[in-house]
Amino acid sequence: MKWRHYILALYSFLPCFGFSQPDSFIVVGIHPAAVLQSSTIGKQLLSLFPWNDKLYAGYGDYGANTGPIDIYAFSPDSLAFIYEGQANTEAVYNYRALNGQLFAPAIDRKSYGIPGDYAKMDSSGTWANYNFGSNSTHVFDAVKLNDSVLFMTGSQDEKAAVWRSINNGKTWGKILTDTAISQIANDFARFYFGGLYNGKLYVQARDYYGSLHPASKVYDGLGWTEGPSLFPPGSGSLGWRPEVFAGRLLYRSWQPGQSSRLRSFDGLNNAWVDSLYVYDFFIDSTYFYALVDSGYGARNLRRTSDLINWENLLKVPNSSLSMAILKDRLYLGTVDSKILAYTKPVSLLHTSSVQMVFPEKIKINIYPNPARDAFSIDCTALQTRKIKIGFLNTTGSILFNQIFDRDKTPVIIITTSNYPAGVYYIKVEFDGMVRTEKIILH
C-alpha cells in the first residue's frame, strides 16, 4: 500500500481516537499520460468520471493536435493508475455510461486510417475504437433515450450531426444535420451536447465562428421539431454535459479550463442558476454539488437539494477544474494533472456547520454586460439602505470600492473607460451577505 493510502486510512480512523479531521486535500495521484502532454490545456484534468469503483479523467488538447489519448483508470483503493486502452482522438473530455458500457466520444479523430468516432469499454472491460459507418469530424456527447436507443452528437464535415443506434451501439445511422447560419465564409455548425429531459432529446447547434442557433431541435422518439432555446438570445454558449436534477435540465456553457454560467431548463424557459459560475458539477441521489468560481481566483464547493437553498461546504484548491464523488470521498482534478482527495468523507460535511447562501435575496441588475465605457448596477429591489460596491480584476486587486445609500443612488453607474478590455468582478455587500458577478469589458 502506498503512503498516500496510509494517510487516507489514518484520516478515516482519527475520530475514533477523539481527534478531529483536518479540513484539507492531499495529492493521491498524478495522471501518467496527462502530465506528459505538450500544452497547458493538455495537462488539465477537465473531467472526472466514476465508473465501476474507479475514476476516469478527461484530458488532451485538440487545438494543439495532441493524442492519441491513453485511457487510465485510477483506483482509489490502490491509489494507482491502471492503463486500459487508447482512444484514437486528440482529446477526451467526456465519458458517458450507457447500458453497461463506458463511452468516450472522440472530440477530434487523430488518425483516419483506423476507427475513431468514439472509444468504448464493453461489459468485459475491453476498450476499442469504433466508427459510425462514415468518418465523422468531432463527437462531443452521448445520451440514452431509453433502454435501447443511443445517440451521439457532434459534427461531420460542415454540418452539426446526431447519430442514433437502435441496437445498443452495434450500428449507427445519422438522423439529423444542421447547417451554419452565420454567413461567415467556411463556417460550420456543431452539436456540443445532447440533453434528455421528460422523455425528449434536446440539441442546439452552434456555429464555430458565429453564435448559437436561435432554437433547439427536439426528438420525441418519432421525429424532430423545433423547440425553445436553451440559452439567452445571441449567446456564444456551447452547452456541456446536461443532467437532470430537481425537475430541471442542468448544464453549463463550456470552454476548456474556464468557468461558465450554470443554467437550467424547464421545458419552456432557460435561466441562470443563482448567478453561479461553475467549473464542474456532480449529482448523487440527494445533492447537486457545484465546483464554483467564487471570483478573484478562489473556488469553493457548494451543494443544494432543491436548486434554491445552497450550502457553502468548503474552499477548494485554486487549481481545481473537475470533481467527482466516489465511495463517500470527494476527488478533484487539477490544472496540472493531479487528482486530489478530500481528507474527510463527504457524509461528514454537516449542514449545521456551513453557511446558507440565498442569492435570490440579493436582487441586482448589472447592464450592459459586456460593457465598454460604463455600466449600471440597479439596486432598487434591495431591502436595505447601505450597499458596498467593489470593482475588482481577476487577480483580486480592488479598482473601485465605495459605500452607497440606496435611497439616494438606487442605480449606481461605474465608469470603466480607463480600464482595458477583459474580465472583471463586481462585489455587492450588504447586511452580511455578498454577491459576486462577472462583467466583461470589450
Residues 6+ apart with CB under 8 A from 133: 171, 172, 173
Taking Cα atoms as reference points, which of 222, 236, 257 lies closest to residue 190? Answer: 236
Tell me, yes or no, whether 434 lies in a domain. yes
Whether residue 16 lies inside any domain: the answer is no
Q: Which three cell numbers stand for residue 258?
A: 474556464
The sheet with strand 101-105 has its strands ordered as 96-98, 101-105, 118-121, 127-130
- Residue in this structure with the C-alpha cell 492531499, named with its chain if needed: 26
What does the pLDDT read at residue 318? Answer: 92
Does any domain span residue 179? no
Query: 2, 75 in Cβ contact below 8 A?
Result: no
Q: What is the pLDDT of residue 86?
A: 97
Query: pTM for the whole thing?
Result: 0.78
Whether 410 is covered by a domain: the verdict is yes
Mean pLDDT of each 10-residue bin along the chain, 442 residues long: 49 39 79 97 97 97 93 96 97 94 94 92 93 84 87 94 92 95 94 95 94 94 95 82 94 86 92 89 94 86 87 91 96 97 86 47 81 90 83 74 88 92 83 76 90
pLDDT at 409: 87
For residue 389, give its domain range. Answer: 362-441
Residue 408 is assigned to a structural domain of this protein: yes
Q: Pairing relation of β-strands 288-295 and 310-316? A: unpaired
On whether residue 167 sits in a domain, the answer given is no
Q: How many CB atoms lie within 10 A of CB 146?
A: 9
- For residue 435, tell me if it sits in a domain: yes
* CATH code where residue 381 lies: 2.60.40.3080
For residue 427, tell me if it sits in a domain: yes
At residue 432, the pLDDT reads 61
Q: pLDDT value at position 202?
A: 97
Position 360 scores a pLDDT of 52
Alpha carbon of 2 to those of 43, 155, 397: distances in Å? 24, 44, 42
Domain count along the chain: 1
Residues making up the chain, counted from first to last: 442
Cα 24 to Cα 11, 171, 299, 312, 314: the distances in Å are 11, 47, 14, 15, 9
Return d(Cα 154, Cα 141) in angstroms, integer.
Answer: 7
Residue pair 153/173 in contact by the 8 Å Cβ criterion:
no
pLDDT confidence of residue 19: 35
C-alpha to C-alpha distances, 63 to 92, 131, 154, 210, 255, nearest whole angstrom:
12, 22, 16, 18, 12
